[in-house]
Structure 1
Amino acid sequence: MNGEISLVTGGSGHLGNNLIRLLLSKNINVRTTVRNIHNKAPFKGLDCDIVQADITDRDSLKKAFKGITNLYAVAANFSMWAKNPKVEIYDNNLHGTQNVFDIAKECGIKNIVYVSSVASLDYTKLPAHVDNGYNKDRRNTYYNSKNDSDKLAIELGKKYGIRTVLILPSAIISREAFKLSYSNNLVYKILNGEIPVDTNVTLNWIDVKDVAFGAYNAMIKGNNSQRYILANEQHTTIQESVKIASERYPELKLKTPKKIPKWLLYSIAGLMENVSKLTGTEPLMQRHYVTMFYGLKQDFDITNSKKDLGFSPKPSKEVLIAALDYLKNDWGNIKIE
């Protein structure tokens, strides 16, 4: 495998960049795609080929995919809100998936590890497992996009005869990061005391390097058309997360977020959505998000990932502490009262 070229789409992103680093440590030749070819900071000291491409631009993908055997399809739009969510989130992710597989077929790529998400899982039976099927709740555009992209990736893999293995990460945090991802930003907000209320939404923290390892092993030994959850088995609440941060950094004087009832959260979210329509900025909370996730324990059955991929993630508390240390010490600008 070391004589082949592996391509990682979205190499400047959190997972993509960590995956590149892992592959290079295995003496694998790596090419990566980025939308902004002038952003060199994420690749300092990395011996990889960097090309400009976008999953929505088929011509750019044709140039990037030439000579590639193994493709890690990481790039996607990870947004919970947009001015035009159908176009900016759903269409971007669905059309991007279609383009990646169409051009992969055209270029003779043999293997694809496709990065899906736990957002595509059915949560009506916990712990969530891939055998439960897909998420039937259609209220969130991002979740819909991952749900349908996941199905499309399996369908196209079979249609084109490309071995396709899917990985479904949970809330990816920790180093290395060259911009704050959605999940790392949430940890950053915890450090800054910007979580005033407990929305009763749980989290499932997972270390980015564990996900990169899972992606690599999915390429090496994952089963065709199989979906592998890359998460911890048990969730962490917002209150637990703030408590861990408070104990780690008592000088920040972080306050335990107050619990408020669902009906009040729902009302506040509605007001925030109305303000968002006027300002064109993302609301801090949305009603459908409260409805979907209030009280939901994001626990996962990772039996298949352990068995097939040798997946053994670091415990969520350990992962969160590492992320807290990284963001406080390497990003700085944490407010101290």
Structure 2
Amino acid sequence: MLTSMKMETQQQGETAGGIKRKGELRFEGLKPYAICIFCNICFAGYNIISKVSLDNGMSSYVLVVYGPVFGTLTTAVLALLFERKHDRKISMAILRDIFFLGILGAVLGRTLFYIGLKDTSPAVASALANLIPSMTFVLAVLCRMEALDMSKHSARAKVGGSVVALAGATLMTLYKGSLMLLLSYLSLSAFLVLQTVTVKKYPAPITLTSLTCLSGTLVSAIMTAALDHKASSWRLSWDKSLVAILYSGIVIFGLTFFLQALVGKTKGLVFMTAFRPLGTVIATIMGLLVLGDALFLGRYRFLFYFRGFMDENKLRSGSSTHSCRFVFNFVGKGKETAGGVQHLLNALKSDQKSDNTWIL
């Protein structure tokens, strides 16, 4: 009697433990998706805040310096709290990688981004950022970090998505500022590849992020001192510019750099960058609410129109090809990931103004 009761209790405990373990595994499986979506929300907000700051007269070169400064301070504190016991020595090879990470991520990537953002809109910058998965995929294949077997449907989907993305980007590079943004995203793609390699050699992502920000701070300070001699440009005040600096340093250089290192280490480069097109939708909605950009939804055609920046038809063509690239790329990655992932398209409510056009 007692033996049977003990066995039943043990079986119930094992069942409860199994359910708990399944829940934990399910949570761990969903965590990379949640992190990628969160990072894209952060990037969209970063585009909006940076645009507002630059339009208010903030120097792009000074903004490049202050961002890594606050990123260094934030991640240094976190590294002391969570990675204090990490005793892995930093070799000269790792120091070399950290130096180039600072140049690619903080100096080249952000400087070119700010210069291009001055002449475009945050939504356009987010649309061009859809090229990052394709650029990263090509660099990963060249560096032999990503296998490319054209006999598989997933590989063909990735290549097809990359070609479609490049076609859309070709249309959008005809506009002022777009070339700088493309060069910026190429630098950031190289940064992601090098970051994934470095974090495997030095498995302390918070410390690595802090050292990367420190490297970017030193190099960008030298660059800014040579290019911007005005002392007034370095002066901080309690306005929108300070918000942009704090957001750039704490959220972008601190938080998202660290989260990207985690996801890239566990899921790979292509998975991490495949969520970039979500930033286009988020940035467009934020642009409507914050900057007052106009969004038109026609009866016979769907297009985005940003007042004063782009022609409607050309922007429609470029945006739609980027959306197709996202579908192809994610189909390719989904075939390699158990279960894949399903995304829902957000429904846009509109008021009909005329027979052919709805204005949101």
- TM-score for the superposition, normalised by structure 2: 0.30
Higher-helix-fraction structure: 2
Higher-strand-fraction structure: 1
* Greater relative contact order (Cα < 8 A, sep 6+): 2
- TM-score for the superposition, normalised by structure 1: 0.31
Which of structures 1 and 2 has the bigger CA Rg?
A: 2
